[in-house]
Amino acid sequence: MTGPLLQGIRSVLRDLRAGELRVLVAAVCVAVASMTAVGFFTDRVGQAVAMRSAEVLAADLVVRSNRPIPGDYLDQAGEAGLATATGTSFPSVVVAGERTALADIEAVSEAYPLRGSVRTSATPYGEARPEGGIPATGEAWADPKLLARLDILPGSVIGVGALKLTVTRVLDYRPDQGWSFVDLAPTLLINEGDVPATGLIQPGSRVSYRQMFAGPRQALEAFRGVVEPRLGVSERIRDLQDAGPEIRRALERAQRFLGLAALVAVLLGAIAVAMAAARYARRQIDPVALMKAFGARQTYLLQMACAQLVTIALISGALGIGLGYLAQAGLSWLLADIAGGRLPAPGLRPMAAGLVLALVVLAGFALPSVMAIRRVPPLRVLRRDITAPPPSVWLVFGAAVATVLGLMLWQVGDLGLTGWLALGVAGLALALTGAATLLLWLAGRVRGSAGASWRYALAGLARRRSDSIVQVVAFGLGIMVLLLLAVVRGDLLGEWRASLPESAPNRFLINIQPDELTEVEAFFAGRDADANLMPLVRARLTHIEGRSVEGMEFASDRAGRLANREANLSWASGLQEDNRLTEGVWWTDPPAPGQVSVEEDFARDLGIALGDRLEFDVAGETFAATVTSLRSVQWDSFRPNFFMLFSPGTLEAFPRTHIGSLHVGRDDGSLLLELIRLFPSITVIDIDAMLGQVRRVMDQAAMAVQYVFLFSLAAGVAVLFAVVESGRNERMFESALLRALGARRRQILAGALIEFALLGVLAGLVAAGGAQVCGAIMAERVFGLDYAADPMLWLIGGATGLLLVAGTGLLATRSVVSQPPVTVLRRF
Amino acid sequence: MSEVNGRDTVLASRGLTKEVSSPEGPLTIVSGVDLEVRRGESVAVVGESGAGKSTLLALLAGLDLPSAGEAWLDGIDLTTLDEDGRAELRARRVGFVFQSFHLVPSLTAVENVMLPLELAGDRGAREAAGAVLDRVGLARRLHHYPRQLSGGERQRVAIARAFVGQPLILFADEPTGNLDAVTGKRIADLLFSLNAEQGATLILVTHDQSLASRCDRVVRLDEGRVA
Ligand SMILES: Nc1ncnc2c1ncn2[C@@H]1O[C@H](COP(=O)(O)OP(=O)(O)OP(=O)(O)O)[C@@H](O)[C@H]1O
Ligand SMILES: [Mg+2]
């Protein structure tokens, strides 16, 4: 039993010393390193990004109530190592001299905000800076709208109940300011210590209390588990999952970009392992034939092969994990700024995952070849030209693809992304095989009339026919994933950011009364501004296909909440720019009333299908409409959007207001002041902060993707070397022989250059096609973005293939031609 | 130098020495070999296994560089040329036959034979190659790959390849070592008759006494020295 195992281990150690295993070890190493580092990456950076979006709550977790919340939670959180803060908010009239205005008083405790920071400026709409703390007692920071209504500037003294406060700064932004339709009054931020002195909190007054918590995820989850069952009737818990759809969508996309980059690195690493493993298996043919001739049995050989693979997996896996750890360190350093040094240390899990990966990849890619070794005829000892029945290329690839698919799902857990990438890879492998076969056929036809270097190159391609095909496929796959990543990194990330241009709306206008509409429209038309005004009718959805919504069971809590709250309805004659029809047809012109177009996720959550009849209640009056289309909505466009949009003529009879959105430049503050002065009932909501958050998520995703891109690049280089290395022995022998016959270095290099250049250009062109198709499908299906194919990609693909493959090939061939021919010839 | 570089001298060496490092320290495998071979002469190099015959051949053909001493091929000092210079010299003036044939497996018989001419930039390589293959009796095997040929046939292709460029000097390292007696004799006959036809100089390494005796001169090596 120990015989074959020991022998296997010894042969691996011998090969290692002789440098025969370097490419295989390097390939496994890169795959494992990208996996561990990327696992860390998606996980930990995902957390960092989540922390960013936690700013929406100013904390990771918030408990709200309209009654004072007992201190137990705070104690509990303190014990669990969570940071805490408290806040109290209530509406109150603020007095300044003769003038008064209604304000939302936000009183907060010392540690506020636990996530993000408050920004203030010295003058209304002036340059803002982040604040380190909260207003001191006796001081207040006021929203510029409040200052406008009171007609005062910072430095003035205001009255809040019985208390006099000095306004020291203008409040530009606080993380949890929100922008819901009910957030009407401008904010006055004060110190919680001042609240009793106002004397405003009496039994029966409208006060909202909240406790905020932040800390490591496990601690938070545990805390939530303890607190949730004990919540009082009036107490509500909120965390990131409840953040608005804009941030959530941005986060989802960010995670997908990262997932894709990770998949690419692992996939490339796997291809490199496959190539290197095949070469390794080929090199075992002679010793195995010899051992067979001496009487070794099949099981003995198999056990020995397994021992070899496990030894290689352990050694290269350990190296890869070490490398992955280094990469993690680099990553933490790189992201220290963004994550604020809060990235938790990686645990043991990535280590285990790395080792498992090494074993799985080696087994998946090397075992089929190694099994084939067992069938090596002992006769090979006598006649060198009898090779093992070639390990069926398809068996190897089948095993490889199955392994990679499993890994991808395990790593990213995103079926759509994995599926499309896998389909793309499979389709491309087929296309590459076809193209390579065609090329080799063509090469065979022109070979007779070609010069020596060309003949030598073409003959090399043709003889290593199945090898050449596998090489084209491997090169092509490598180049395709790299191009795809470039597409994603450049075009898709660009597309994503372009979906949120500098000129994206950053102010929402609500509460525009129907009788003001024409004047408001004239106001904006006169100032050359577009306010995207849309009507808004508040209604309750009562029945779906005749069934009452009230008693309905929904798939998720979110769906239940959506169904049971008052919905915002609107109408439009045309489809908005940032909407896309996914099912059904848009109404024709002139539109028949009684039709509704429903946002697809909303429809899915509530179980609404095309053709369903929906019934609504508007302040006691009812009406119905038929679902004639479903839409997808790009929520992060920051334009007014609606779950349910009706055909004109359906809603006009009901009481309504209008809402709008517009972009206001830094210097256009006066436009809004003027608007508020002219139409005091209109509420302007500033969503600059929200936009900033989405942009920051995008920037972080872009940076993370680029970092992971480095791993993919390393993996791509490993593929190139593995492919070139796989033909190294033949090349070495042939070039030594040619030089004995009088070939100059230049001639041999020219032959190799031609061979690799042909392979590279072919692989590059097919890869460019594959990358475009895959990119377009992924853009549409996975990322929900528009992607216009870039014709430059053909050029880039062909050139990349040419340069990369020819360059690597030349490099490998140089080392082969630099030795005196006799040294090489002696070996054969 | 003049005495070794006379008109008729095509191959010469003085103090030719090759040292390699081994686990037991430096090892001299060819030691101080002085040699002079005239045009058209045939020389057999004999000696025990491990005596350094193949190494000497490689040094004389410029396939390897000596640790000390000099070698001239057609009057040109090999030690003054770089790798490419030596290759170019071989392309025009040298033919090889190896014990294990060493055909390029990806090329057909005729393509293998064409190689030396193409590498030297000659035109009409295909016709010349066809003619030589015809001469060695392989006219019907032109488009076969090496793996489709028997050992004897492969060596005939190798001989055709060696003679196609009408080399000045032919180096043969145990050309019959891998063949049975009958085939070996045929190959040897072919070698000598082609050599006679072209008037080439032949350096033949062999264990075979009868083969050695067919040469004009026999050089015996013993532990790297000319005995
Ligand atoms: N690169 C090298 N490193 C170490 N030893 C070498 C090297 N090349 C040759 N030798 C040794 O030099 C000696 C001569 O080798 P060579 O191949 O020239 O012998 P040979 O006379 O051709 O023998 P044979 O008749 O068996 O072919 C041998 O003992 C061999 O082991
Ligand atoms: Mg020898």
**Distance, CA of A5 to CA of A2 (rounded, Å):** 5
Condensed to tens digits (0 to 9), the pLDDT of residues A646-689 reads 999 998 889 888 988 888 876 676 777 788 778 877 777 767 76
What's the gap in Å between the CA of B77 and the closest CA on chain A? 17
Residue ID of nearest Cα to ligand 1 atom 7: B20
What pLDDT does A774 receive?
Answer: 77
Condensed to tens digits (0 to 9), the pLDDT of residues B126-161 reads 899 999 999 888 999 999 988 889 888 998 999 999
The phi and psi torsions of A753 (rounded to 5 degrees) equal: -60, -45
Residue B19 scores a pLDDT above 80: yes
Residues of chain A in contact with residue B64, where contact means CB-CB under 8 angstroms, are 820-823
- Residue to mutate among B83, B108, B153, B166, with most A CBs inside 10 A, is B83
Ranking A17-26, A712-721, B107-116 by mean pLDDT, the lowest is A712-721
Same domain, A376 and A276: yes
Residue B219 scores a pLDDT above 90: yes
- Centre of ligand 1 to C-alpha B14, Å, is 20
What pLDDT does A760 receive?
Answer: 86
pLDDT band at A525; cut points 50, 70, 90: confident
What pLDDT does A52 receive?
Answer: 55
Residue pointed to by tokens 């090759």: B18
Between residues A246 and B179, which one has the greater pLDDT? B179
Contact between chains at B116 and A734 (C-beta distance less than 8 A): no
- Centre of ligand 2 to C-alpha B187, Å, is 18
Helices A792-817, A688-726: crossing angle, 10 deg rounding: 40
Q: Of the bound ligands, which one is closest to the alpha carbon of residue B24?
A: 1
What pLDDT does B5 receive?
Answer: 47
Same domain, A558 and A468: no
Q: Which two tokens stand for residue A379?
A: 């006769």
Taking residue B179's Cβ as centre, other Cβ atoms within 10 Å add up to 21
**Distance, CA of A558 to CA of A573 (rounded, Å):** 30
Where in the sequence is the domain holding A634, given as residue range(s)?
A: 507-662
Looking at residue A21, its amino acid is: L
pLDDT band at A49; cut points 50, 70, 90: low
> Can you list the positions of beta strands (E) in A606-746?
613-618, 621-633, 644-646, 657-662, 683-686
**Distance, CA of A353 to CA of A355 (rounded, Å):** 6
**Distance, CA of A267 to CA of A269 (rounded, Å):** 5
Among residues A601, A602, A644, A600, the alpha carbon closest in space to that of A626 is found at A644
Q: Which two tokens stand for residue A276?
A: 């290197």
Q: What percent of chain B has pLDDT over 70?
A: 97
pLDDT band at A484; cut points 50, 70, 90: confident
Contact between chains at A744 and B84 (C-beta distance less than 8 A): yes
Contact between chains at B88 and A741 (C-beta distance less than 8 A): no
Tell me which range, A9-13, A30-34, A167-171, is most confidently predicted by mean pLDDT. A167-171
- Centre of ligand 2 to C-alpha B220, Å, is 14
Residue B34 scores a pLDDT above 90: yes
Residues with CB under 6 A from ligand 1: B 20, 22, 27, 29, 47, 49-55
> Is A677 a member of any domain?
no
Same domain, A750 and A782: yes
The phi and psi torsions of A94 (rounded to 5 degrees) equal: -110, 135
**Distance, CA of A720 to CA of A726 (rounded, Å):** 10
B126 to chain A: nearest residue by CA?
Answer: A448
ipTM for the assembly: 0.80
Q: Are A606 and A562 in contact (CB under 8 A)?
A: yes
Between residues A71 and A723, which one has the greater pLDDT? A71
Residue B201: beta bridge partners? B169
Residues of chain A in contact with residue B90, where contact means CB-CB under 8 angstroms, are 740-742
Residue ID of nearest Cα to ligand 1 atom 18: B52
Sequential DSSP letters for A555-577: SSHHHHHHHHSPEEEEE-SS--T
Residues of chain B in contact with residue A828, where contact means CB-CB under 8 angstroms, are 100, 102
Residues of chain B in contact with residue A739, where contact means CB-CB under 8 angstroms, are 83, 87
Span A508-537, mean pLDDT?
Answer: 86
Same domain, A38 and A176: no
| Partner-chain residue, chosen from A455, A740, A743, that has the shortest CB–CB distance to B96 | A740
pLDDT band at A128; cut points 50, 70, 90: confident
Span A262-266, mean pLDDT?
Answer: 73
First vs last C-alpha separation in chain B = 23
- Residue to mutate among B104, B108, B110, with most A CBs inside 10 A, is B104
What pLDDT does B212 receive?
Answer: 92
**Distance, CA of A181 to CA of A174 (rounded, Å):** 17
Sequential DSSP letters for A580-607: EEEEE-PPPSSPPSSEEEEEHHHHHHHT
Residues of chain B in contact with residue A744, where contact means CB-CB under 8 angstroms, are 84, 87-88, 91, 119
Tell me which range, A370-374, A403-407, A552-556, B56-60, is most confidently predicted by mean pLDDT. B56-60
Ranking A113-122, A400-409, A516-525 by mean pLDDT, the lowest is A400-409
Among residues A511, A515, A538, the alpha carbon closest in space to that of A621 is found at A538
pLDDT band at A381; cut points 50, 70, 90: low
**Distance, CA of A696 to CA of A750 (rounded, Å):** 50
Cα dist. A524→A130, A517, A643, A663, B225 in Å?
33, 11, 27, 12, 105
**Distance, CA of A403 to CA of A360 (rounded, Å):** 7
pLDDT band at A340; cut points 50, 70, 90: very low
Q: Which two tokens stand for residue B165?
A: 């460029």
Q: Are B97 and B155 in contact (CB under 8 A)?
A: yes
Residues of chain A in contact with residue B111, where contact means CB-CB under 8 angstroms, are 455, 459
What pLDDT does A395 receive?
Answer: 66
> Is A263 a member of any domain?
yes
Residue A4 scores a pLDDT above 80: no
- Centre of ligand 2 to C-alpha B206, Å, is 9
Condensed to tens digits (0 to 9), the pLDDT of residues A410-428 reads 656 667 777 777 787 778 7
Condensed to tens digits (0 to 9), the pLDDT of residues B75-126 reads 999 989 887 888 888 888 888 888 888 888 778 899 889 888 877 777 788 8
What's the gap in Å between the CA of B182 and the closest CA on chain A? 20
Residue A794 scores a pLDDT above 50: yes
Q: What percent of chain A has pLDDT over 90?
A: 11
What pLDDT does B67 receive?
Answer: 92
- Interface A-B, measured as beta-carbon pairs within 8 A, has a size of 84
Q: Is A814 on the interface with B (CB under 8 A)?
A: no
Residue A244 scores a pLDDT above 70: no
Q: Which residues surround ligand 2, an ion (CB under 5 A)?
A: B 54
Q: Are A42 and A262 in contact (CB under 8 A)?
A: yes
Q: Are A432 and A453 in contact (CB under 8 A)?
A: no
> Is A71 a member of any domain?
no
> Is A571 a member of any domain?
yes
What pLDDT does A341 receive?
Answer: 44
Ranking A626-635, A738-747, B196-205 by mean pLDDT, the lowest is A738-747
Same domain, A559 and A655: yes
Span A397-415, mean pLDDT?
Answer: 66
Condensed to tens digits (0 to 9), the pLDDT of residues A756-777 reads 888 888 888 888 888 888 778 7
Residue A180 scores a pLDDT above 60: no
Residues of chain B in contact with residue A743, where contact means CB-CB under 8 angstroms, are 87, 91, 119
Cα dist. A148→A127, A167, A505, A573, B84 in Å?
17, 13, 23, 38, 87
- Centre of ligand 1 to C-alpha B113, Å, is 29
> Is A151 a member of any domain?
yes
The mean predicted confidence, pLDDT, of chain A is 78
Mutate to test the pocket of ligand 1, among B30, B48, B53 (most ligand atoms within 8 A of CB): B53
What's the gap in Å between the CA of B9 and the closest CA on chain A? 22
**Distance, CA of B139 to CA of A427 (rounded, Å):** 46
Cα dist. A494→A498, A699, A700 in Å?
6, 11, 13
**Distance, CA of A331 to CA of B66 (rounded, Å):** 54
Cα A37–A38–A42 angle (5° rounding)? 125
**Distance, CA of B39 to CA of B198 (rounded, Å):** 11
Residues 6+ apart with CB under 8 A from B27: B19, B20, B21
What pLDDT does A229 receive?
Answer: 82
What pLDDT does A85 receive?
Answer: 93
Residue B4 scores a pLDDT above 50: no
Q: Of the bound ligands, which one is closest to the alpha carbon of residue B55?
A: 1
What pLDDT does A208 receive?
Answer: 84
Residue A451 scores a pLDDT above 80: no
**Distance, CA of A449 to CA of A343 (rounded, Å):** 64
pLDDT band at A181; cut points 50, 70, 90: very low
Residue A572 scores a pLDDT above 60: yes
What pLDDT does A364 receive?
Answer: 75
What pLDDT does A116 receive?
Answer: 76
**Distance, CA of B104 to CA of A455 (rounded, Å):** 12
> Is A827 a member of any domain?
yes
Q: For residues A365-387, b (16+ Cβ closer than 10 Å) or e, as one string?
A: bbbbbbbbbbebebebbeeeebe
Which CATH superfamily groups domain B3-226? P-loop containing nucleotide triphosphate hydrolases (3.40.50.300)
Q: Are A701 and A260 in contact (CB under 8 A)?
A: no
3-state helix, strand, coil in chain A (%, to 5): 55, 15, 25
Helix (H, G, I), strand (E, B) or coil at B222: strand
Residues 6+ apart with CB under 8 A from A36: A320, A321, A324, A325, A327, A328, A350, A351, A353, A354
The phi and psi torsions of A214 (rounded to 5 degrees) equal: -150, 150
Among residues B31, B36, B61, the alpha carbon closest in space to that of B47 is found at B31
The phi and psi torsions of A644 (rounded to 5 degrees) equal: -125, 125
**Distance, CA of B170 to CA of B167 (rounded, Å):** 7
Between residues A405 and B21, which one has the greater pLDDT? B21
> Can you list the positions of beta strands (E) in chain B?
9-22, 25-38, 42-47, 68-73, 76-77, 94-97, 169-173, 201-205, 217-222, 225-226
> A214, A242, A267: which is the final residue of a domain?
A214
> Is A246 a member of any domain?
no
**Distance, CA of A141 to CA of A189 (rounded, Å):** 5
Residue B119: beta bridge partners? none
Between residues A720 and A258, which one has the greater pLDDT? A720
Between residues A45 and B72, which one has the greater pLDDT? B72
Q: Of the bound ligands, which one is closest to the alpha carbon of residue B58?
A: 1
Residue A707 scores a pLDDT above 60: yes
Longest dimension (CA), chain A: 111
Residue A53 scores a pLDDT above 50: yes
- Centre of ligand 1 to C-alpha B55, Å, is 6
The phi and psi torsions of A57 (rounded to 5 degrees) equal: -95, -10
Helices B151-163, B109-119: crossing angle, 10 deg rounding: 20
Q: Of the bound ligands, which one is closest to the alpha carbon of residue A820?
A: 1
The phi and psi torsions of A111 (rounded to 5 degrees) equal: -80, -5
What pLDDT does A179 receive?
Answer: 44
Residue pointed to by tokens 């070899």: A308
- Residue to mutate among A732, A738, A741, A744, with most B CBs inside 10 A, is A741
> Is A229 a member of any domain?
no
Residues 6+ apart with CB under 8 A from A731: A752, A812, A813, A816
Same domain, A144 and A258: no
What pLDDT does A598 receive?
Answer: 94
Ranking A343-357, A748-762, A804-818 by mean pLDDT, the lowest is A343-357
Same domain, A495 and A519: no
pLDDT band at A157; cut points 50, 70, 90: very high
Between residues A413 and B43, which one has the greater pLDDT? B43
Q: Which two tokens stand for residue A705?
A: 């993707």
